Structure 1
Amino acid sequence: MKKNEKLNTWLWKWHFIAGLISLPFILILSITGGIYLFKADYEKPRQKNIKEVAVAIDRISLDQQWQIANKNAVKKPNALLLPTSKHHATEFISGRFSGQSSVFVNPYTGEISGEIVTKETDMYTIRKLHGELLMGKFGTKIVELIASWMLVLILTGLYVWWPGRGWKLKGFFIPRIGEGKRTFFRDMHSISGFWISGLLILILAGAFPWTDVVGGNFKKLQEMTNTGYPDSWKGHQLQSQHKAEPITLDQIAIKAEALHLTGTVKIHFPKGPQGVFSVSNNNPSDLNSQKKIHFDQYSGKQILSNDWQDVGVLMRGRMWVMAFHQGEFGVWNWWLMFFTAIALTIMSGSALISYILRKRKGSWGIPKVPITFKIGYGIIIIIGILGLVFPLFGASIIILLIVEYIRTIKKKRKTILSA
């Protein structure tokens, strides 16, 4: 591909400016993302005394356990997880996502073995640092803006990296070692960026569903196109046929176990006398196996069953990239995400070192674009599309254009005054 050198310089300029501004945030995101991958390994030994109990001969009923949990939980439990081992305490869950808390009941003694409040865990803090820089909604917007610019950095970086005068192994695919520190760190930045560029785009796709603006717009698109979860998935419109006594938790647990669902199986409690029991499984490593089945709380009869094929295509795609982003598809996915986090940290660090080595005293070192250069319509259209898809990026472009316009006016005035 023959490169337009003026366009290359212009793209390098904005790649340089955007990278300089984004660099501290990208380092935080890559480091915290890498740390969060160790969530299960970090929490398992620390929560072992809460989640695991000594096995005894007799077990108390799930209804009795629920009564105990209800008296001791911060909030009234709305679901329970089916234990997968005789050594596991029964987990009763209140709330969802960041507002979730779990109380654990020893199924043999009826004692509370402990409680885990999501917001009070160390990994919750890491996740909040990764997702919102510990600054709430404002921090979420900053992370979303940085993620939008990261996509632009990848695209502009690939163009700048692309060899305009023939392909060479060194300098394009492996770093040059014997040509000085500046060349080495520049190569480390550009080459590592090339090797992980595709992965980074996929990882960013998995990050945007959590954002406020892009994620919110995506949810609206799902609603408009009816490609999210079906209404029957949550079962709000379903009703139990009211009778004298509802079935017990042990009875619904037997029905849930008979379904042979893979992953973590949850029993959702009925909401009110006409509500239903709902059984679902969470299995990110095999999304196709996920189901949600609703039962009449009095007769125990199955009312409705949904599987993954009933979920809209946009939601299925969204859940896939989100699971990939968190390394949930197995060991290979975990190592791929961990490798990418390390590579992104190296890429960012080498960019900073390369900049320090090339920067002259009293100058920012921003590449100078020829005055005669004019942006083509193709570039304008691409920027416009990116601005529409990523509104915060579009807003930042408008601000940059205003700043650039003011600077141009000031330069003209100075030229006129000096003349």
Structure 2
Amino acid sequence: MKNRKLNQWLWKWHFIAGIISLPFVIVLSITGGIYLFKSDVENEVIQGIQKLIPEEKSERLSYDKQWEIAQKNSKRKLNSVVLDDGDLSTEFIAGRFGGKQSVYVNPYSGKVSGTFKAKDTWMYSVRKLHGELLGGKVGTKVVELITSWMVVLILSGLYIWFPFVRGIKGVFTVRLKEGKRTLFRDLHAVTGFWISILLLIVLAGGFPWTDVFGGNFKKVQKWTNTGYPKTWSGRGLTSTVKEKRLSLDEMISIANAQNLSGKITVGLPKSVKSTFSVSNKTFPLSGQKMIHFDQYSGELVKSHNWSDVGVLMRARMWLMAFHQGEFGGWNWYLMFAIAVLLTLTSIAAIFSYIFRKQKGKLSVPKSPKSFKQNYGLVIAILFLGVIFPLFGLSVVLIYLSELFTNRKSLNT
């Protein structure tokens, strides 16, 4: 049997947290759904730059010559080149992550066909709105706080709703003829139930990008040695210095001989002692490799497979890729469906509140006066507060606020 007093107490705080969070949740779900089209938007721009006119094809320039041209047209030092099939302009990259910029060189004419930065597309604004509400570091922490409470909302919502009053029948049916309040309440509850587990996985894939949780997660990876191997990025690896370095064409020939799948990138040496690196981005993630070669002899220095990556990093990368719908069509459509359904269930919750709200009152559910939190509940809250520090801080502030309010009411 369900603890009815606990149910009422959770319902009160589920309600309060929901009313505060829902406007933000709607923004996050809508922008998340839009951001799934990121590749389509960016690829359309890139294809316009990379696509070659058949008449332009003649004798192909060496990669070294193309690199010289690209470097002259880049204000930043180039760090890598993407291998192509010969029918596209060659992509040279400067920077990393969000600051990455690509310079495209026509391999036949030697002309720079264009440059590309993700920041130049309107999708970048969608990303900033989704990740930080256009509020910089403060906005990032607000998003982290809201997503932390979303975890609590999902868990408390499952307890409150299932199984209660309607039993198993309520999992599958929405009451259409019992008034608007009941209709929207059921739409919120039934839809929320069916996406709850997937939504928790989606949220888990978003947390690594956050400031506080993400920063702590990286520290745990470092302490437990469950991230990338130290030599994955080439740190600590050296080449035997000689008079002549391999040409970029020779290195790319070696890279092609590795028969890697997906998008293959050759990282350029950062100094006279560092190495060339060859990596690929492919799915499943288990097919990804990072291989380092002596920049003078071309000999293998270090080869890493995906199995060399620590378990926490592998889990993190899988969840982040799932979050972005990168595992193929099924993953993309699933993420888009979750974004749409989360928006609908959030809107349904707002309408449910509007139709239950009494005029002139907030209509906040009352919790039983005699209810005392048991050890299990306290431990669960403390556990979530440790995992999600911003949630923990907000709970402390709520507790202090309630304590102050209760003492004030006793003194009056």
Please list the CA deviations of residues 341-373 of structure 1 after superposition, one character each: whole Å capped at 9, or x if unmatched: 000000101001111111111111110112111
Please list the CA deviations of residues 283-331 of structure 1 after superposition, one character each: whole Å capped at 9, or x if unmatched.
Answer: 1x21000001011111111111001011111111111111111111111
8 Å CA contact 1:9, 1:369 repeated in 2: yes
Partner Cα distance (1:207, 1:369) in 2: 33
2:300 is aligned to 302
What does residue range 311-322 of structure 1 map to in structure 2 within 5 Å?
A: 311-322=309-320
Could you report, residue by residue, the CA deviation over 1:29-54 in whole angstroms, capped at 9, with x for unpaired residues? 10011001111222222332212122
Q: CA shift at 1:165, angstroms?
A: 4.2
- Partner letter of residue 314 of structure 1? L
Q: Residue in 2 aligned with 1:405?
A: 403
Q: Does 1:196 align with 2:200?
A: no
Counterpart AA for 2:69: I
Structural mapping, 1:1-12, within 5 Å: 2-12=1-11
Contact 1:54–1:87 (CA<8 Å) still a contact in 2?
no
Secondary structure of 2:171's partner? coil
Q: Equivalent residues in 2 for 1:6-85 (5 A)?
A: 6-55=5-54, 56-83=57-84, 85=85
Report the Cα offset of residue 120 of structure 1. 2.1
Whether the 8 Å CA contact 1:172–1:187 is kept in 2: the answer is no
Quote the offset at 1:239 in angstroms.
1.1
The structural deviation recorded for 1:130 is 0.7
* Partner in structure 1 of residue 234 of structure 2: 235
Secondary structure at the aligned position of 1:406 is classed as: helix
**Structure 2 segments unaligned to the other structure (5+ residues):** none
Q: Say whether 1:275 aligns with 2:280.
A: no
Aligned counterparts of 1:151 and 1:98: Cα–Cα separation in 2: 27
- Quick check: 54-63 or 345-354, which moved more? 54-63
In the alignment, the residues of structure 2 paired with residue 147 and residue 356 of structure 1 have an alpha-carbon distance, to the nearest angstrom, of 24
Does 2:375 align with 1:374?
A: no
Question: In 2, distance between residues paired with 1:360 and 1:102?
Answer: 57
Distance in 2 (alpha carbons) for counterparts of 1:365 and 1:384: 28
- 1:240-389 to 2 correspondence within 5 Å? 240-283=239-282, 285-389=283-387
CA distance in 2, matches of 1:3, 1:371: 18
Q: What SS does the corresponding residue of 2:241 show, helix, strand or coil?
A: coil
RMSD of Structure 2 on Structure 1 (CA) = 1.1
Distance 1:388 1:168, change over 3 A: closer
The Cα of 1:166 is off from its aligned counterpart by 5.8
Aligned residues: 410
- Name the residue aligned to 2:185: 186
Match of 2:388 in 1: 390
Distance in 1 (CA, whole Å) between partners of 2:374 and 2:257 is 63
The alignment partner of 2:151 has SS state of helix
Tell me the residue number matched to 1:137.
137
Whole-angstrom distance in 2 between the partners of 1:36 and 1:391:
27
Counterpart residue identity of residue 27, structure 2: I
- Preserved contact between residue 93 and residue 102 of structure 1 (Cα < 8 Å): yes
Could you tell me which amino acid in structure 2 is paired with residue 116 of structure 1? Answer: F
In structure 2, the partner of 1:160 is 160
With the length of structure 1 as denominator, give the TM-score of the two structures.
0.96
TM-superposed CA distance for 1:245, in Å, is 1.1
Deviation at 1:86, TM superposition (A): 2.7
8 Å CA contact retained: 1:49, 1:113 = no
SS in 2 for 1:78: strand
Percent of residue pairs identical: 55
Partner of 1:417: none
- Does the CA contact (< 8 Å) of 2:42 and 2:118 recur in 1? no
Q: How many Å separate the matches in 1 of 2:339 and 2:222?
A: 33
**Matched residue type, 2:299:** K
Distance 1:87 1:99 in 2: 27
Q: Deviations over 1:257-277 (max 9, x none)?
A: 111111111100001111110
1:119 Cα deviation after fit:
2.0
Structure 1 contact 161–172 (Cα < 8 Å) conserved: no
- TM-score (structure 2 length as normaliser): 0.97
Deviation (angstroms), 1:61: 0.5
Distance 1:344 1:92 in 2: 39
Q: Return the offset for 1:80.
A: 0.8
